[in-house]
Amino acid sequence: MINAILVDDEQDSRETLASYLGKYCPQVKLLTSCSDIIEAKAAILKHDPDLVFLDIEMPRGNAFDLLEQWGEVNFEIIFITAFSQYAIQAFNLSAAHYLLKPIDIEELEKAVATVEELLSQKQKISHANILIENMAAIHNQNRKLVLPLLEGFDVVKMSEVLYCEAEDNFTCFHFTNGNKSLICRSLKFYENALSPFGFCRIHRSHLINLEYVRRFNKGKGGSVVLENGKELIVSSNKKKTLIDRITKG
């Protein structure tokens, strides 16, 4: 059984989610509901929950105001948001769980199942703390990226990623130290998550970190040479975007 707390300033939203949990997620025991971060802090200290459903924007302080009061977040979180593409990018980078309003029942079941698996494996990584760091990072390349593995997670800085390579529905990360890691997510997923932060898709098979481009070779599409000497082909339909990203920043 997963002991949970729900934090949302909208009564209708609290009632709807509570109803969905009762019908579709019987493994979740909802201990209490809170309407703001003051109530939430008291409830978390009292109940020591496994999971907190946490609305991001509330009148008396947002979710991050609450989380920053903990040195280390020791409970799982499913964030709830109605908007903010910026926040969603940060969630994806941090492998944090989130639901968009209005809540989709299938997405709710999927998020709860993921949390249940993490709790059963006693995973110690705090996605919430990484998310907070990412939201506060001044320089894009200082942001962290959580890479899910079969046996857990790797946490890396974006600056450590040289390029990403598609391998069917997997993505192989190539790091600046020469190491590689095969991740069970598509290159398209990482293109969407990383493109705003200095990465560029140059080919159906490759997403590169623009920080490490050392040379561009002309041709139909051309090619790029990275800092480690690796040369990668650029698709003709990606050439203009790449050159614009390099020359215009």
Cα–Cα distance, 119 to 49 (Å, whole number)? 12
Per-residue pLDDT of the chain (249 residues; tens, 9 = 90+): 999 999 999 999 999 999 999 999 999 999 999 999 899 999 999 999 999 999 887 877 777 778 777 767 788 889 888 765 555 666 665 656 888 888 999 999 999 998 888 888 765 455 666 666 665 555 566 788 888 776 667 888 889 999 999 998 899 999 999 999 999 889 999 998 898 889 999 999 999 999 999 999 988 889 999 999 999 999 999 999 999 998 876
pLDDT recorded at residue 76: 87
pLDDT tens for each residue of 5-39 = 999 999 999 999 999 999 999 999 999 999 998 99
pLDDT recorded at residue 133: 63
CATH number at residue 19: 3.40.50.2300
Q: Give Dmax over CA atoms of the chain in angstroms.
A: 65
pLDDT recorded at residue 79: 86
* Tokens standing for residue 22: 């009762």
97 with 171, same domain? no
pLDDT recorded at residue 101: 86
Structurally, the chain folds into a number of domains equal to 2
Final residue of a domain: which of 106, 133, 160?
133
* Within a domain: 228: yes
Where residue 107 falls (left for φ over 0; alpha for ψ -120 to 50; beta otherwise) is alpha
pTM: 0.58
pLDDT recorded at residue 89: 62
* Tokens standing for residue 214: 């050392």
User: Which residues, including other chains, have CB under 8 Å from residue 48's CB and lie 6 or more apart?
Assistant: 3, 75
81 with 114, same domain? yes
pLDDT recorded at residue 131: 64
113 with 28, same domain? yes
Full domain range(s) for residue 214: 150-248
